Amino acid sequence: MNKYGRVALIGAGPGDLDLLTLKGKEYLRKADCIVYDRLCNKKMLELASSDCEMIFVGKANHHHTLTQDKINELLYEKAKEYDFVVRLKGGDPYVFGRGGEEALYLKERDIPVEIVPGVSSSIAALADAGIPITHRGLAKGFQVITAHSRKDEPTNIDFTQLMDEDVTLVFLMGLAHVGEIARGLINAGRAADTKVAVVSNGTTNHQRKVVGTLSNIESLVNEAGLESPSIIVVGKVVGLAADLDFFEKRPFFGKRFFLPKIQSFNYKLETGITEILYNELEERLEKDGAEVVTVVTGKIKPVECDLGFLELATTGDYIVFTSGNGVRSFFWNLFEKQGRDIRAVSNFRFAVVGEKTAAILREFGIVADLIPEKQTGAELAELLKKNVSEGVAINWLCGKVQSPEFEKTLGSDYALNKIVCYENVQNELTISDELKEEIRKCDGAIFTSGSNAKAVAGITLPDKVFSIGPSCTAVLKGQGVNEVTEAVDASYDGIINILRY
């Protein structure tokens, strides 16, 4: 029996979190230790368990945290310490990633190794820049070449072997040598007007590209100030970039927003409680092309609560939810803490604050009876007042700290039973000066709750500040933020709408 743990070399892909493979995600969740590179999307690390050891071994151009020999030794030592070690590498481990060297080193020391291929930037970054690496009539094949060299030395590429105009050339790690590459190809016989593109930070929402020819690409790159990682592509297919750059035509591409967020949880009967790692609004913004700068201000946790009102119910009493967290926390209490099932709520009607909360309620097999047109606590209270008969109990499943608008609008004439079933455990935020400056330079700051606004009070915000609703706006204005654009509809859809106009 092998006394050592195993090591998986995982390709993290070109940068886009969604281009990490399913097996890669699964292994990151199971890892005891992750040794990761500079070019990996840091959000991938959030998939790991809270007790997973994270070790950064990134390499910038000629600046190494650890040498390759030291990385090899580190992997070996960690395999002796842990059951499962993940080596997370940008792109694909075997495409100029030195993954083969690491695998051989471990194999020679009887460490079990598994390779999890990744999406190579040599193809994916071009695709998101609107450049297909092959195209009928334009390119019958492609060559991928490393342009990396020792410091201050030429690339040592034999350009005479790269003369076929029907083959797309892709140079990785070559930004510092773009002029040398262009001149080398021209001197070897390629036409000076051969199309060239350089793509920086491909597949990410801060992707940039310049398109030119071998004769002018160096000056265009210098003028644009492109940064590593960058890919150079040479060939006829570059001519398709203007027609196929769907990635860069998304509505928020090129925009950057600051979004403080609260980490939530999910609950399902078949899986129990799981953490929700990504904020839904954050994901939607990123899908639409925006960069999102986030800080986690707190974590939502369900709390055990008294559900004695279930025994006192009369037909027509209401259960009210003003958030999806309330829905999940209630059913967690009902199913997990009390061992009961859906029959316990058969006498009740249900009222929810909006369509999103109604959708979460439907996951538990219940259709909401009341949903206000405008998704605010005040509107929900007004709707209840129109529909609730005298003597009907209103059981509000809510958080420990809540906006007062629902309770205030409902007033004292109704039998309100307030049951706290979850809480927001605040994080102790430490925001570096570097991050503060990054936040200040954003195109806008988005706040989806008053607690998020309070958590970042005192830092300099961008000129444009967006709020999800009246309660959140009131907190911001109380902190001296006078210019606030408020969503008409207090929902993520409402936020997206005001960002677009």
pLDDT at position 20: 96
- The answer on 145 and 96 residing in a single domain is no
- The answer on 415 and 307 residing in a single domain is yes
d(CA 162, CA 155): 14
Domain boundary among the residues 247, 267, 287 is at: 247
Give the range of the structural domain holding residue 411, as residue numbers without chain letter. 303-426
Q: Which residues contact 473 (CB under 8 A, 6 or more apart)?
A: 467, 484, 486
Would you list the DSSP string of 385-453?
Answer: HHHPPTT-EEEEEEESS--THHHHHH-TTSEEEEEEEEEEEE------HHHHHHHHTSSEEEESSHHHH
Domain boundary among the residues 247, 267, 283 is at: 247
Q: Which residues contact 453 (CB under 8 A, 6 or more apart)?
A: 260, 447, 472, 475, 476, 479, 481
Model confidence pLDDT, tens digit, residues 355-402: 999 999 999 999 999 999 988 899 999 999 999 988 899 999 999 988
In sequence order, what are the beta bridge partners of 266? Answer: 274
- The answer on 407 and 313 residing in a single domain is yes
d(CA 303, CA 472): 24
Domain-located, residue 344: yes
Domain-located, residue 1: no
pLDDT at position 64: 63
Domain boundary among the residues 60, 89, 119 is at: 119
- The answer on 85 and 32 residing in a single domain is yes
Domain-located, residue 45: yes
Query: Mean pLDDT, consecutive 10-residue segments, the chain of 501 residues?
Result: 86 94 96 94 88 88 78 97 97 94 97 97 96 97 88 81 97 94 97 98 94 98 95 98 94 96 89 80 94 92 95 90 96 96 94 94 96 91 92 93 87 90 90 94 95 93 95 94 92 93 78
Domain-located, residue 449: yes
In contact, 475 and 495? CB cutoff 8 Å: no
- The answer on 437 and 351 residing in a single domain is no
- The answer on 326 and 294 residing in a single domain is no
The CATH number of the domain holding residue 62 is 3.40.1010.10
pLDDT at position 415: 87
Domain-located, residue 333: yes
Q: Which residues contact 222 (CB under 8 A, 6 or more apart)?
A: none
Tokens read off for 429? 């935020």
d(CA 461, CA 449): 16
Model confidence pLDDT, tens digit, residues 315-350: 889 999 999 999 999 999 999 999 999 999 999 999
Domain-located, residue 181: yes
- What's the distance, Cα to Cα, between the start and end of the chain in Å? 64
The count of structural domains within the chain is 4
- The answer on 318 and 376 residing in a single domain is yes
- The answer on 177 and 127 residing in a single domain is yes
The alpha carbon of 38 is separated from its chain's Cα centroid by a whole number of angstroms, namely 17
Q: Give the E-state strand segments of 244-324 in sequence order.
A: 256-268, 272-276, 291-302, 318-321
- The answer on 289 and 185 residing in a single domain is no
d(CA 10, CA 27): 9
- The answer on 264 and 187 residing in a single domain is no
CA geometry: angle 160, 163, 165, nearest 5 deg: 170
Tokens read off for 347? 């006498």
Model confidence pLDDT, tens digit, residues 199-247: 999 999 999 999 999 999 999 999 999 999 999 999 999 999 999 999 9
In contact, 397 and 329? CB cutoff 8 Å: yes
Catalytic residues: 37, 59
- The answer on 211 and 160 residing in a single domain is yes
pLDDT at position 61: 58
- The answer on 130 and 84 residing in a single domain is no
Domain-located, residue 432: yes
